[in-house]
């Protein structure tokens, strides 16, 4: 391990001229070295910025010594690098997981008050540097992605990407399709005008995640598809039309459906699912289209994507550090 202010890398096996013969020496003179944060990013532990956060937090060791200096360089072939006590090698690829988040868990990798958090539900010891893509409220259930690919996470969360997110909500009161028109037009909240949402009333069968015992009188189940990520956005949108949320569940993110995973469990994404994410996601299937609702065309995602530019810029996202630490 070396510390330097130089920029760049030196690769093992690099030949240098022989002073006497001017021919290349076949033996490596310089080891294959690179900055530690770049090594961690290439190994799929986190983004470059996220790797720096891991270092400054004292979670990275090189040959048994904590490495907090951002100028630290490592010999890829000789140095032993660990994150949270787990060895890291360059041949490790990025990791992509899907968690079925249950209620009662904070979307954070640690909590100073030792409350239950999603870090308790994913294999962070097996995959150092794992972090959630975005967040779900403590009382919200459903699909939460985790990855060590910081660049992909930032792409999916960037306001300009407008990634689809599908929620099911059980709300108070008898809500009709007509009541949802303000959401479809784009409702005004205290932090600005929302982009038009795709939303409709759904049946008890479709709303099993939020109404496992059926939709009781005086409540209504709705599906809401948004392409923003403001804090408590769906809850605030429905409260604005006087139907506060009783339960909220995310069933789709970027076109990935919550399936083949039990509540409180996780699974790795398939290659196809990772490809979908890297392509920026795809429009999700609506409950209405699945049951042949004649109003489905009014909420067709293809007809909604043109509206976002006319309502000004999207709200600022949390920084990577805020997303990472909760």
Q: What is the C-alpha to C-alpha distance for residues 234 and 240, in angstroms, rounded to an integer?
A: 10
CA-nearest of 13, 6, 51, 8 to 32 is 13
Q: What is the C-alpha to C-alpha distance for residues 37 and 180, in angstroms, rounded to an integer?
A: 48
Strand, coil or helix: what is 317? coil
Q: What is the C-alpha to C-alpha distance for residues 135 and 262, in angstroms, rounded to an integer?
A: 19
Q: What is the C-alpha to C-alpha distance for residues 240 and 252, in angstroms, rounded to an integer?
A: 23
Does 137 qualify as catalytic in the annotation?
A: yes
Tokens of 29: 């003179």
Contact 40, 127 (CB under 8 A): no
Contact 42, 90 (CB under 8 A): yes
Tokens of 141: 């259930």
Cβ contacts of residue 242 below 8 Å, gap of 6+? 173
Catalytic-role residue among 111, 137, 155, 177: 137
Q: Which helix (H) or strand (E) holds 145?
A: strand 140-147
Question: Looking up tokens 């009662």, which residue turns up?
Answer: 104
Q: DSSP code of 251?
A: E
Q: DSSP code of 153?
A: H
Contact 147, 130 (CB under 8 A): yes
* Residues with catalytic function: 137
């Amino acid at each position: 391990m070396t510390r330097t202010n130089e920029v760049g890398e030196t690769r093992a096996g690099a030949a240098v001229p022989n002073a006497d013969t001017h021919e290349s020496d076949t033996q490596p003179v310089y080891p294959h070295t690179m900055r530690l944060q770049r090594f961690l990013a290439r190994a799929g532990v986190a983004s470059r910025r996220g790797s720096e956060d891991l270092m400054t937090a004292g979670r990275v060791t090189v040959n048994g010594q904590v490495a907090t200096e951002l100028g630290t360089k490592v010999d890829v072939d000789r140095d032993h690098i660990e994150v949270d006590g787990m060895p890291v090698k360059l041949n490790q690829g990025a990791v992509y997981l899907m968690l079925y988040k249950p209620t009662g868990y904070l979307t954070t990798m640690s909590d100073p008050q030792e409350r239950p958090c999603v870090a308790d539900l994913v294999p962070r010891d097996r995959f150092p540097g794992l972090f959630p893509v975005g967040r779900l409220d403590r009382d919200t259930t459903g699909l939460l992605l985790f990855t060590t690919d910081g660049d992909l996470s930032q792409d999916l969360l960037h306001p300009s990407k407008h990634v689809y997110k599908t929620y099911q909500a059980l709300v108070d009161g008898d809500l009709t399709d007509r009541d949802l028109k303000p959401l479809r037009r784009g409702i005004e909240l205290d932090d600005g005008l929302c982009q038009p949402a795709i939303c409709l009333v759904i049946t008890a069968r479709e709303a099993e995640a939020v109404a496992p015992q059926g939709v009781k009188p005086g409540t209504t189940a709705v599906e809401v598809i948004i392409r923003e990520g403001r804090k408590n956005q769906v809850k605030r949108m429905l409260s604005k039309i006087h139907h506060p949320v009783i339960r909220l569940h995310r069933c789709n993110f970027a076109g990935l459906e919550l399936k083949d995973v039990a509540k409180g469990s996780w699974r790795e994404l398939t290659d196809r699912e990772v490809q979908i994410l890297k392509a920026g996601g795809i429009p999700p299937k609506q409950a209405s289209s699945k049951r042949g609702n004649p109003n489905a065309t009014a909420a067709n995602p293809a007809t909604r994507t043109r509206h976002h530019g006319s309502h000004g810029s999207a709200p600022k996202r949390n920084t990577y550090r805020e997303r990472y630490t909760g």
